[in-house]
Structure 1
Amino acid sequence: MHWRALQEGRVYIKQNFTDAQITVADIQERIIQDDTHMANRIMHFSKGLCRSCQFWNLKHYELTDMIKQIKLQGLIFFTFSAADLHWPELYKLMPLSNNSEASDKTKLQNIIDNSHIVMWFFSKQFEIFFNDILKK
């Protein structure tokens, strides 16, 4: 993403500042004067950077437009991603962790070392969600 951001930045500069040379002092002056025009243009231009906030906002609006076109109401999306660092119940099952207050590094290592427990726990969580929420 870093390389892509640099490339996008070069393209932005070439497309928007060909007439006059802009300096760091010019940019600082615009910031002091609370001129948000350039910042807004940069933010808009960065929507092509994968994983950036602008990228996901663009995808959100595209998806919203698609839903409006097919005229669906009340559509819900489930990602089924695991909040594996935020489940105290999961860490009670881990062999080396008696403490739910363990550091994130310890929790991550437990997840790596005990992936079979994590998979079982996630499967159980999904099964409960599916049977108790989606089927009703």
Structure 2
Amino acid sequence: GRFARHPTFRFVAFNTLMRSQARARSKFFVKQHDGTREPLTREQLIQALEHSDDPEAQALINSITRHAVSIRGTRPFWNRKRQDLEAYAYSLGCPGAFITFSPADLHWRSLYQHMPRYGEWLRASEPERMALSRYLLRQNPHIAAFHFYRRYCFFRDIVLRKKFNVTDYWDRYEWQGRGSPHNHGLYWMKDSPAADMEDEAARDIFARTWGFH
């Protein structure tokens, strides 16, 4: 759509979403007492706000702090995700594999059949197709991102889970400078060889298993 293709609308929408989440998940706290006065009442707070020039009222206002819960994409959010991953490792042990998935988003026919000018893309020569692919990716980043997400989910659930007996996983998405997504993930697999580099037999089993695949 027109808004999805707009070069800056997505950033405005993201900024608006983040601000809305910050407002909805934020709370204000007031220091109830400093050891010299009684607990603060609602009436005292209202009076301080109405007479904010008064030094005592100003001191009271300065004691108000704002606290927000973790919001997606912020440093506290990723700190919490890191703690989740550490808990996975402590509970499940060393994962069987670390895998990065990157899209061939300049070549995937399955992607461009969902974009405008697909017929032109099919008929184009290789140099023309590459130029058109770059243009279509810039114009339709939402289609490219969702297509990569769906392909990854299908590959994870149909291929990885069944072929390698994946029992648990932890992953995250990142975007390159030109907007191309990729996925980093840790995968725990039933009966996967341990990555024990101190034991020669374990190294041999590990190399043979993953060398075969």
Same fold by TM-score, threshold 0.5 exceeded? no
Relative to total residues, which structure has the larger strand share, 1 or 2? 2
TM class, shorter-length: 0.3 to 0.5
Higher relative contact order (CA 8 A, sep 6+): 2
Give me the TM-score of the superposition, normalised by structure 2. 0.31
